[in-house]
Amino acid sequence: MHYYCVSFTHKNTDIATREKLSFSSEDKKRELLKLIHSNNKILESLILSTCNRVEIFLFTGELDKLNEHIINTLCLLCGVDKNELSAKADFYEDSGAIHHLFSVASSLDSLVIGETQIAGQLKDAYKFSLQEQKCGVHITRAIHYAFKCAAKVRNQTEISKNPISVASVAVAKAKELLNLENKTIVVVGAGEMSELACKHLLNAKAKVLILNRDIQNAKKLSETLGEDVSYESIANLKEALNKYEVFFSATNAPHAIITSDLLEEKDFKRYFFDIAVPRDIDIKMSEKNIVYAVDDLEEVVRKNLTLREHQAQIAYSIVGVMTNDFFQHLSKLATLPLVKQLRLRADEIAKEQLQKAIKKGYLKHTNHEEARKLINQVMNVFLHHPSVNLKKLSGTMQNDSVVNAMRYVFDLKNENLEGLNSYKCEFSLENHNEI
């Protein structure tokens, strides 16, 4: 049994391809889960889809041809060339998959290191998989440890001090370009990313106009944020585009909603910050119409990286330790049931043989209790050292082979023990010091 992850992120995949791979729609995500599980070797799955990444995290019976199955499935659903996807994807197995999951949960693999949104996004992805009955005990254990790891990173480093996000980076870029104070900034959308953008804009002393398809959601967000925020229907988008200078867009629309045909010639510059994937903005760049998408914010991100590099190194050390701890935990989950099963099996054999001895007249019925106590004492003495030694092995590299050998020798096939074999953590802290 194996943990496995296929990863497309801002590090290995351009935004145009990430747009095609986006699974913001629950129906599309549901279809992907269904197609993934057409391979009956895949037992559990989880899909994390954000503006910067698509992660497919699996628990599977075998790894043979798994890459090909996942890539073919994505090509079928998203219409991306197979060779292109295979070249871009990062594939992680077992300890590599768990280490990657923990890094993602701890915001170490994010475009903006230390951003705070990813934990909530991962939690939502887990809940969705659970609701679709595609997530079981194995991924649940991994997710539990991932959040435990993220909490440790947050508490033991300053990586999330003054927390930032893609939205905050976009606002920081806008502040570099012009003075936002008392300027009306248009925010298209009323979701989590839009709300973050609004908050950062308000901190910059700007005024905010929210445009949204659902006017009630826009009204609710406006009332939450205060008197410097107003709202209108997205039906007024064209008017706003030709009146104001700065725009932030973060909707879940499957296609661009701000297009060149909506723009009129103006004598002032307009700045567009597209923080959605798929992108909301598809206009022709010019001297007076300047567009920044998620991947265009690299300069601000690099500054963030330099400031947080030392803290990130500490955080990666924590992730490495937690990865080892997780596999030791799995070893214990295999060892303790085995000890219990050995004793239960010994007890069953003792009772069977005692009844046979009485039935065949080897033992008087009046001696039944004394014989039972003697057999139990013999079995306890016999199993004492194996039990102690198994517990000592728990969490070591030898544990898996010994557990499997014991299960084979004593023919122990209890369901609680199935699927807990062959986990080894080969992650080395020395090889992962860089960001």
* Residues belonging to the active site: 51
Which helix or strand (DSSP H or E) is residue 231 part of?
A: strand 229-233
Residue 250 to residue 275: CA distance in whole angstroms:
5
Nearest to 165 by CA among 218, 121, 103: 121
Binding-site positions for NADP(+): 189-194
The answer to whether the beta carbons of residues 417 and 137 sit under 8 Å apart is no
**Tokens 């910059």, residue?**
204
DSSP code per residue over 302-351: HHHHHHHHHHHHHHHHHHHHHHHHHHHHHHHHHHHHHHHHHHHHHHHHHH
Distances in Å between the Cα of 185 and the Cα atoms of 32, 297, 301, 310 are: 37, 19, 22, 35
Residues 77, 35 contacting (CB under 8 angstroms): yes
Binding residues for substrate, as ranges, are: 50-53, 110, 115-117, 121
* 88 within 8 A of 29, measured Cβ to Cβ: no
Query: How large is the angle between the packed helices 399-409 and 368-393, nearest 10 degrees?
Result: 150
Give the per-residue SS3 of 99-135: HHHHHHHCCCCCCCCCCCHHHHHHHHHHHHHHHCCCC
